[in-house]
Structure 1
Amino acid sequence: MSRRRVLVGLVFAALCLVALSYAGASAVDPPTESTPDTSSPPDPKLVQPADNVSKLYPYTSKRRSTSGRTLPINVVIHGDPGDVRTALTDRSDLGFEELPAEESEAGNETYQIDIEDSELDWNDASGSPRYIYIQDDGGGRWLRESYQLHEGNYMGERQHIRAYEDPDGEYTAIQIHREYFDFFQLRHNVVDIEDSGQMLEDEFLDQPFVDRVSREYFGTRGRWTDGWTVSIHLGALIPTALFGVFALGSVVSASTRRAVWSLTRNFGSWARTNWAGFVLAAGLVVTVVGTRAFALALENTFTETYPQVFAGVAYPILALGPPAVVAVLARRLSPLPAFGFAVFGLVAALAADTMWVGLGVVPVQVFLHRFGLALTLGVLALGVAREVSDDPEAIDEERGVLIAAGLLAWFGGLALPLFGMV
């Protein structure tokens, strides 16, 4: 009887934690947006990247209104927009000639410049549309991004550029950020913009086609910015050819410690008895990480297909795989080990996926949501698990309630992000 009371108390506490986690995840607001209340920003909020060029509102927006404000512009590249895009994507094939200053008026002798390859491989990217407000002598207007580029994978982690070409052809405003695809939310989450801007700045420093690199204060203060924007000025170069480095990031794993020789006989016996728990935890890791690997494989194989399609193909694996793994393997365990291995397995799986996409800091609402999902699998495992004296095939009424509660909480938790509640 006391054993039953322990299990009932554990289940009640787990379900309470699930409810609190989901409620907390829904209550915490994402920190990436603010909502000004005017559709066209007043002139004092506009910035002018250089003298005698059009002004801009230094934020992107989800819609043609400042009420959809999202991320700040963090890089401005001055020069012909065509040259800017070439400098980003086809730098190794730039064939530039530069007129020496002392001869620029007297003759047309030129010097050939060899351009070093970029360390990043920028490719055309897909993503949600974002708009920017630009004002010149003809008035103000909202413009959609001219193009998007990324370095990395849509279904994994990437650096993402949205570029906005000045209608007068004087500069290109860039919003660059690092993001990862969150399968539970079926969308990208931004994790950094300041280091991304610094990375692009470093790419242009000391390049022969760059006249100067500086910082301009746009006042865009927020979570990931101190208000300063990178300003890059291309030199007075005459392009003679425009043609179309893939740098693979290396993952350095932590060194493993030597095997522990002092394992006790009791632990060895416990591990042999609960071998299915280790398989269960490993199965959850393989399922979650395998979902991303599968989507990335599809993206890299079918390069002409919109990557959003692959998210739809892979998502059922993530939704159905973890509860299926628990249902098959937890029945071979006692209740408490089943609960522990299920929770630990999903936590380990999410940690592995987080490390894969390079996410250093997990937002609070994301952490609470994932913690709640882990607990739901623990509740499901309690329902599936056998009692020590039970037939492993037997499932009584109480365990059926636990299974139903675990499944309901799992699928309910998956639905929260899809309805914008996380």
Structure 2
Amino acid sequence: MRRSIVVAAVLVTLAFLFVGGPSLLFSPSTADIAPEEDDASDPELVTPDGSESGFWPYLNAREAHEKRSPLNVVVRSDAETIVQQLREHGDEDWEETDHDHFDAGELVESATNGSDADDDVVGGDLATEQTETELALSPTEVPWSKADGATRLAYLDPGAGGDAYWTTETLQLEDGEYYGYRYHIRLYESPNPDDQWVVMQTHSEHFDWFTLRHRVDGVEQAQYRLEKDLMSIPAVDEREDVTRINLGNSGPSDADGWATKVNLMSATVLLTVGLATRRDGILEPAKSKLDERLTEADRTRIEAATDRIEAGHLVLLGTIITIILGVRVMGVALDRHAGFLSVHMIAALLYPFIALGLPVSTYLIARGLTSRLDAGVVASASFAVAIWLDYGFVSLNSLPIDVVVQRMLVVIALGLIAGGAAKRATRTSPINDMLLAGVAMWVLVLVGTLFGYL
């Protein structure tokens, strides 16, 4: 029991040092800030210039005026024209993909549903405008395609004495991979046919295989990307047709409240801009300096630790990393090439590799290892490495606190399973306190995550 406590303490420390600490230090997120609520009887609406109709500048998952997902693009045109212009004047190498690619006319007629999580943000007025003269002109890099995504509700007012109401999106678009990293857009057309405008919400997100839902990373980078695509349309004059308007809906995630307005009335559009910064790190080799500081005792300890490495440790490392990255790659591949599978069918096929494949394979491999501490440390460290490699695959720059905590817990749980399966832990019985604790923690964390408790 005493040895189990020591191993558990080491695993907790390891989880914090390799997962929790770096995540909290380098990728803070405000996505979990509790949303404010407007007075439901008198929400502050935004009315585009020359229009009778208007919109409340947020989306929500239910019919409530909570300031969650900020609308950040307004387009003076109709949805079909916008889609058609992006298709014709974007990237010259626009490719038709097997996954839900669209014809502009058909796409507008069919709204789609699916699953993702969104961010939050304040009513405003279109009176405040700022001309944007330094926006970069650039062709699109990846074609926009029809998207699967959870339904979000917009609150629209048709004007002319009509009653405001909640409505679902006209259509959704994506640039990227459903099971990888993507830019996601929801579009809502004016409820008044005499007012030609489309309001949009765009954000970047990645699919989290441990929660089986999308995690929104931010809105600025996606807004900047969409803005470049819209400005590549020849009919758009960046000096006259592109302005910035303050919707006053800053707050959640990295939203700053400013939307980009683009006039595309004969091929005319409006949008929000944002430029995400990236942290680039440079690692310089320092082996010579390290060697100079090592004492003879330090070298002896390093040699002793090296001697303890078994072939099973390397097999465990490779297996854990292969499962995590394999699920990510297979999800993207199936979504792209297996058109007969729905996104939910793909999740059902691959999630068992995470929920069952990881702990079972870890247990079976760790049974051949001698030291419980070594087995636990290798499993936890391998899992931490796999998590960071997966984050790199989807170009993830931010994490909400609940995800950081969840990742730390599963790292500890897998380490306990490995430690409890090692030979020294199973000398008297194959079932021991460390193994039971690891399995119980793994099950509770995954079940709690799927039901929204983590």
TM over 0.5: yes
Aligned to 1:31: 32
Deviations 1:119-161 (A, max 9, x none): 2310001111111111122231222100001011111110001
Deviations 1:394-417 (A, max 9, x none): 542485222121111111111111
* 2:242 equivalent to 1:213: yes
* 2:61 equivalent to 1:62: yes
Structure 1 residue 5: Cα displacement: 3.4
Q: For the residues of structure 2 that align with 1:29 and 1:399, how far apart are their CA atoms?
A: 42
Structure 1 residue 225: Cα displacement: 1.4
Aligned to 2:313: 277
User: Which residues in structure 2 correspond to 1:266-345 (within 5 Å)?
Assistant: 267=302, 270-271=305-306, 273-275=308-310, 276-331=312-367, 332-345=369-382
User: Which residues in structure 2 correspond to 1:19-418 (within 5 Å)?
Assistant: 31=32, 34=35, 36=37, 38-39=39-40, 42-43=42-43, 45-67=44-66, 69-91=67-89, 118-135=140-157, 136-137=159-160, 138-167=162-191, 168=193, 169-205=195-231, 207-211=233-237, 212-223=241-252, 224-236=254-266, 267=302, 270-271=305-306, 273-275=308-310, 276-331=312-367, 332-387=369-424, 394-397=426-429, 400-418=432-450
**3-state SS in 1 of match to 2:423:** coil
Aligned to 1:11: 8
CA RMSD after TM alignment: 3.5
How many pairs align? 372
Question: Which amino acid counterpart does residue 7 of structure 2 have in structure 1?
Answer: L
Question: Which amino acid counterpart does residue 324 of structure 1 have in structure 2?
Answer: V
**3-state SS in 2 of match to 1:191:** strand
CA distance 1:237–1:217, change in 2 (3 Å): closer
Q: For the residues of structure 2 that align with 1:281 and 1:16, how far apart are their CA atoms?
A: 19
**3-state SS in 2 of match to 1:148:** strand
Q: For the residues of structure 2 that align with 1:149 and 1:371, how far apart are their CA atoms?
A: 34
Structure 1 residue 172: Cα displacement: 0.8
**3-state SS in 1 of match to 2:37:** coil
**3-state SS in 1 of match to 2:382:** helix
Structure 1 residue 336: Cα displacement: 1.6
Structure 1 residue 74: Cα displacement: 0.6
Q: For the residues of structure 2 that align with 1:356 and 1:55, how far apart are their CA atoms?
A: 40
Question: Which amino acid counterpart does residue 148 of structure 1 have in structure 2?
Answer: Q
Q: Is the 8 A contact 2:14 2:380 kept in 1?
A: no
Q: For the residues of structure 1 that align with 2:256 and 2:152, how far apart are their CA atoms?
A: 22
Question: Which amino acid counterpart does residue 370 of structure 2 have in structure 1?
Answer: L
CA distance 1:294–1:259, change in 2 (3 Å): farther
Q: For the residues of structure 2 that align with 1:286 and 1:368, how far apart are their CA atoms?
A: 23
Structure 1 residue 364: Cα displacement: 1.4
CA distance 1:29–1:185, change in 2 (3 Å): farther
Q: For the residues of structure 2 that align with 1:152 and 1:397, how far apart are their CA atoms?
A: 50
Question: Which amino acid counterpart does residue 218 of structure 1 have in structure 2?
Answer: L
Structure 1 residue 222: Cα displacement: 0.6
Identity across aligned pairs (percent)? 27
Q: For the residues of structure 2 that align with 1:17 and 1:302, how far apart are their CA atoms?
A: 39
Moved more, 156-165 or 266-275: 266-275
Q: For the residues of structure 2 that align with 1:196 and 1:366, how far apart are their CA atoms?
A: 22
Structure 1 residue 50: Cα displacement: 1.9
**3-state SS in 2 of match to 1:229:** strand
Report the TM-score, using the length of structure 2 for normalisation.
0.73
Q: Is the 8 A contact 1:30 1:365 kept in 2?
A: no
Structure 1 residue 8: Cα displacement: 3.4
Q: For the residues of structure 2 that align with 1:364 and 1:80, how far apart are their CA atoms?
A: 39
CA distance 1:11–1:305, change in 2 (3 Å): closer
Contiguous gaps of at least 5 residues in structure 2: 95-137, 269-279
Q: For the residues of structure 2 that align with 1:307 and 1:142, how far apart are their CA atoms?
A: 27
Q: For the residues of structure 1 that align with 2:139 and 2:49, how far apart are their CA atoms?
A: 29
Which structure has greater strand proportion?
Answer: 1
Report the TM-score, using the length of structure 1 for normalisation.
0.78
Q: Is the 8 A contact 2:54 2:190 kept in 1?
A: no
Higher radius of gyration, 1 or 2: 1
CA distance 1:158–1:345, change in 2 (3 Å): same
Structure 1 residue 271: Cα displacement: 3.4
Q: Is the 8 A contact 2:53 2:156 kept in 1?
A: yes
CA distance 1:118–1:12, change in 2 (3 Å): closer
CA distance 1:377–1:298, change in 2 (3 Å): same
